[in-house]
Amino acid sequence: MTQNQTQTTQSNKIGNYLTFIVLVVMVLALAALFLAFETFIGGDIVTAGVLAGIGLISMSLSVFLLYQSRRATAAVKIDVPKVMTTVECQNKGCGNKIIREFQRGDYVFKDLETPCPKCGGKQMVTAIYKEVKEKEKTYAV
Amino acid sequence: MSFIPGSDSISQIISLGMYVFFIIFIFYGQRIQMYIMVREVENSLHKLRVIKDEGKKITIEAIKEIGKPTTDPTPRVERYLEYFTIGPQSMDPAGIVSKLDHILDTRDERLKEDVKLMAPQLIGNEVQINNLENTLEAAMALNYIYKVVRHFYIQGKKTLSLYVIMQLQMILPLVMKEAEAYASALKAFSYGQPIGDGVGPLIASKLMHGYEIRKVPKDCVAATVPFEGRTALVLKAEGPGGNVGKPGDAIETVIEENEGKIACLVMIDAGLKLEGEMVGEVAEGIGAAIGGPGVDQYKIEAKLTKYKIPNYAVIVKEDIGDAVSPMRKEINDAVDKAIDRVRDVVRERTKEGDKVIIVGVGNSIGVGQ
């Protein structure tokens, strides 16, 4: 058996243990909820509340664990950010600025062969940067 | 009197169940906790494997697209990904820097030669060779990260040690962040886009653009630029190919050319930010602002000490992810702020007519001069 196969078998074993435990907790939670309902009908509201609380907490915990262990195969993608190139006209009187998508072969301070659409002057790449602003969580400290 | 509380059978079953669970958790709580951690590590390992495989695919595609090889480069790429470098023996540390320097030079040459073998049509096109070499190095880093995480994961499971798994699980968020950064870098390198680490060379380029440029050893360029009434010798790694050069050698050469008559050295680099700091913040300090294995820093410090030249540093803050992925707008916008800071340093610390060296440290990918 290869190392990878061994690894998969072991991980399945662990997964099965966890699933078994979670399922037992789930059954107990259901029984607690059922009992809470019966106790409530019987008129003991306090005990019913305690049992319902235990049942709900156990149920949500087991659902969470089950969800956690089952999302392993979620698809993973490599994000390719949008990169922009700034092209500026070198004619000081014109100063035309174009921002377009990055093209292979662009680099900062590259003299472009295409003339400025406004004045026909020489154009140069002046900046290349990632456009997408990454959302950063801020913490009030 | 019954040991199991409750008046009916259902509540007795529940109470019994609770007892059983309580006992199970006393004896097996740690193991259950470990299984949950193993699951988390497994998920991350799965992601790492996908990122690593994708990295290899992107690299092979880039070689095929740019290098147009006649044979399939896959076996050679696979061999390349497994390359390792053995550091010098440090029992007797005297002379270790030159030994490390030699090993790193050999590694660099070997990797470049291999890229040429993978893409023979690129011989003579240093820009593309450097870009492909950088792409391969990013794929190599991803491969290594995956293998190390897998090693500790298997070891943890083999020994069923909570502490091995726990250590791995604790550092995983940082490892994943680095792996995602390298994955993002792969495309940037294969397309030749500037990366966050290139902010130093970008600033140097802005200063030297339009002036006569000459090559200095190794893989660097220099220009003599009038700057605030002083003469600035501006240095950077040669672009626009992916290249960090050897700023240590370049600075040594320029200082020796000027017989040590240099008023100060200003180094500009990307600096790692702490959480809570803003990307693109500019800060100023003292010392050699340069990363890497330390060879260049050693050479610079030795030469500066010999001639008693003060060393100032200006850094643009960013995190590890920003450093190896395409340059963020905030970093690009920080260039002018950093130049103003260099101006202040030079004006305040030197006299008119002095000679200063300004070095933009970092990877010159996507940055010309």
Residues B106-138 as b or e (16 or more Cβ within 10 Å = b): eeeeebeebbbebbeebeebebbbbbbbbbbbb
* Cross-strand partners of B268: B314, B360
CA–CA dist A122, A94 (Å, integer): 11
Of B47, B188, B240, the CB nearest to A107: B240
Complete DSSP assignment for B190-212: HHT--BGGGHHHHHHHHHHTTS-
pLDDT at B292: 85
Q: Return the minimum-mean-pLDDT range out of B180-184, B233-237, B364-368.
A: B180-184
Would you tell me the crossing angle of helices B295-307 and B247-257 to the nearest 10 degrees?
A: 20
Question: Hey, what are B188's tokens?
Answer: 């940037």
Q: What is the pLDDT of residues B153-168, one digit of tens each?
A: 999 888 888 888 889 9
Using the predicted structure, report yes or no on whether residue A13 has a pLDDT greater than 60.
no
Provide Rg for chain A, Cα atoms: 31
* Whether residue A6 has pLDDT greater than 50: no
Nearest to A107 among B42, B186, B366 (CB): B366
CA angle B363/B287/B355 to nearest 5° reads 85
B157 chain-A contacts, CB cut-off 8 A: 7, 10-11
- Give the residue with greater pLDDT, A6 vs B183: B183
Considering chain A, what percentage of its residues have pLDDT values greater than 70? 73
Residue B102 has a pLDDT of 95
- Residues of B within 8 A of A106 (CB-CB) are 192-193, 366
pLDDT band per the 50, 70, 90 thresholds, residue A54: confident
Cβ atoms of A19 and A68 within 8 Å: the answer is no
Q: Judge contact between B237 and B245, C-beta under 8 A.
A: yes
Mutation target among B8, B9, B11, B275 for the A interface, most CBs of A within 10 A: B11
Reported as a single tens digit per residue, the pLDDT across B297-331 is: 999 999 999 999 999 999 999 988 888 889 999 99
Cβ–Cβ gap B43/A139 under 8 Å: no
Task: Please tell me the predicted confidence (pLDDT) of residue A74.
Answer: 53
Q: Considering only the beta carbons, identify the residue of B36, B202, B326 that sits closest to A83.
A: B326
- Do B240 and B192 meet the contact criterion of CB atoms below 8 Å apart? yes
pLDDT-derived band at B7 (thresholds 50, 70, 90) equals low
**Single-letter amino acid code for the residue at B217:** P
Q: At what angle do helices B162-191 and B126-159 cross, to 10 degrees?
A: 170
Q: Would you say residue B17 has pLDDT above 60? A: yes
What's the rounded Cα separation, in Å, for the pair B112 and A28? 64
- Size of the A and B interface in Cβ pairs below 8 Å: 120
For residue range B64-78, list pLDDT tens digits in order.
Answer: 888 788 888 888 888
Per-residue pLDDT of B249-280, as tens digits, reads 999 999 999 999 999 999 999 999 998 888 99
Residue A136's pLDDT is what? 65
Nearest to A130 among B47, B191, B329 (CB): B329
Q: Do B183 and A3 touch (CB under 8 A)?
A: no
The pLDDT tens digits for B185-219 are: 888 888 889 999 999 999 999 999 889 999 998 88
Which residues are within 8 A (CB) of B74 and not within 5 positions of it... i.e. 6 or more apart?
Answer: B60
pLDDT at A4: 43
Cα separation, B258 vs B246, whole angstroms? 19
Label residues B14-43 b or e (16+ Cβ within 10 Å = b).
beebeeeeeeeeeeeeeeeebbbbbbbbbb
- Closest in B154, B192, B193 to A7, CB measured: B154
Which residues have a Cβ under 8 Å from the Cβ of B342 and sit 6 or more positions away? B203, B266, B268, B314, B358
pTM of the shown model: 0.80
pLDDT in tens, B169-178: 899 988 998 8
3-state secondary structure of B96: helix
B154 touches A at CB < 8 Å: yes
The total of other beta-carbon atoms located within 10 Å of residue B92's CB is: 7
- Max avg pLDDT among A119-123, B16-20, B259-263: B259-263
Residue A14 has what pLDDT?
A: 53
The residue of chain B nearest to residue A131, with distances taken between CA atoms, is: B329
Say whether B267 sits in a helix, a strand or coil. strand
What's the complex ipTM? 0.83
Nearest-angstrom CA–CA distance, A38 and A140: 48
CA distance B28 to chain A (A): 11
Strand arrangement of the beta sheet that strand A83-89 belongs to: A97-101, A83-89, A123-130, A111-112
Identify whether the C-beta of residue A30 lies closer than 8 Å to the C-beta of residue B9.
no
Q: Which of A1-10, A53-62, B12-21, B327-336 has the highest mean pLDDT?
A: B327-336
Chain B interface includes A34 (CB < 8 A): yes
Task: Using a CB–CB cutoff of 8 Å, tell me whether A26 touches chain B.
Answer: no
Q: Taking 50 as the threshold, does the pLDDT of residue B365 lie above it?
A: yes
